[in-house]
């Protein structure tokens, strides 16, 4: 029996590609394999070590300050009209039990914003997960099964843009707290801690506005920056956001430190360890 050849069009048609996996698998890369395997002669381990200590210390301090300091050691989070940034906006209904910290109702927003931040993700992936610990430095072989941020739990990192929107809520109240602290019992004052509150909220504003997602909100999904007056205005705003974004790392760490220092000084003021030199008029 004579076989019938398929049409020429079918002969020229390339074979169907293999179906890709459900989620991408991390590529091996060109670095030497194995934990900390590298040919780098420099002290590459310094940066991830500093990040691990610094970011870890902030997380521990923020949890201690918001959950332990007042209910256990009876150290107030308010002093002389100054409110700790960990508790702003202050939501404290009467039905809350004594042991429940009102910071829990708001602190999840700034912590979620920082945890899902693009810069911090890179920083703590390297510092805590050694993934990789530095450029051209090997990591554990178990990471070969890592499916990037397309699988649980790291797929949750993709909600960062929503934490950005939420972050402007406490940011607004932090500005309000700083202005309200200028007047105490009918007297205007410019104090050291009050000035620090303004510095802190300014750094937090810079950190929020330098966010990669905020830059995309301003200038993303645009095919033409000069086609209309509105598009041109967005382009100018995108340029400013890009300048802030270049320094995002500095905004991130400066604001991280300022939040903790502001809270610490307000706590010390509350128990009388320090004073608040101020001009009053």
Q: What is the pLDDT of residues 95-135, one digit of tens each?
A: 888 788 888 899 899 999 999 999 999 899 889 988 888 88
Half-sphere exposure of 247 (CA within 13 A, CB side): 13
Q: How many CB atoms lie within 10 A of CB 127?
A: 21
Q: Residue 8 — very low, low, confident or very high, per pLDDT cuts 50/70/90? A: very low
pLDDT at 149 over 90: no
Is the C-alpha dihedral spanning 7, 8, 11, 14 positive or negative? negative
Q: What is the pLDDT of residues 224-273, one digit of tens each?
A: 777 788 788 888 888 888 888 999 999 999 999 999 999 999 999 999 89
């Amino acid at each position: 029996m004579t076989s019938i050849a398929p049409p020429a069009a079918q002969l020229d048609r390339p074979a169907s590609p293999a179906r890709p996996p459900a989620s991408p698998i991390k590529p091996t890369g060109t670095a030497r394999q194995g934990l900390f395997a590298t040919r780098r002669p420099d002290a590459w381990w310094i940066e991830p070590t500093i990040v691990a200590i610094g970011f870890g210390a902030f997380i521990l301090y923020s949890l201690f300050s918001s959950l332990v300091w007042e209910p256990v050691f009876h150290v107030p989070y308010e002093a002389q009209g100054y409110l700790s940034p960990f508790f702003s906006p202050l939501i404290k209904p009467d039905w809350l039990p004594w042991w429940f910290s009102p910071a829990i109702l708001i602190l999840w927003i700034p912590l979620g914003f920082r945890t899902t931040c693009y810069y911090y993700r890179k920083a703590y992936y390297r510092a805590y997960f050694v993934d990789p610990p530095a450029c051209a430095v090997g990591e554990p072989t178990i990471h070969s099964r890592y499916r990037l941020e397309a699988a649980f739990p790291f797929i949750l990192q993709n909600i960062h843009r929503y934490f950005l929107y939420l972050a402007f809520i406490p940011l607004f109240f932090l500005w309000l707290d700083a202005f309200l602290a200028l007047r105490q019992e009918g007297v205007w004052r410019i104090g050291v801690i009050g000035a620090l509150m303004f510095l802190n909220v300014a750094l937090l504003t810079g950190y929020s506005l330098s966010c990669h997602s905020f830059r995309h909100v301003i200038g993303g999904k645009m095919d033409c920056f000069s086609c209309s007056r509105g598009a041109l205005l967005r382009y100018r705003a995108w340029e400013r956001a890009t300048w802030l974004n270049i320094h995002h790392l500095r905004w991130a760490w400066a604001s991280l430190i300022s939040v903790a220092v502001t809270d610490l000084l307000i706590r010390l003021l509350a128990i009388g360890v320090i004073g608040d030199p101020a001009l009053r008029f």
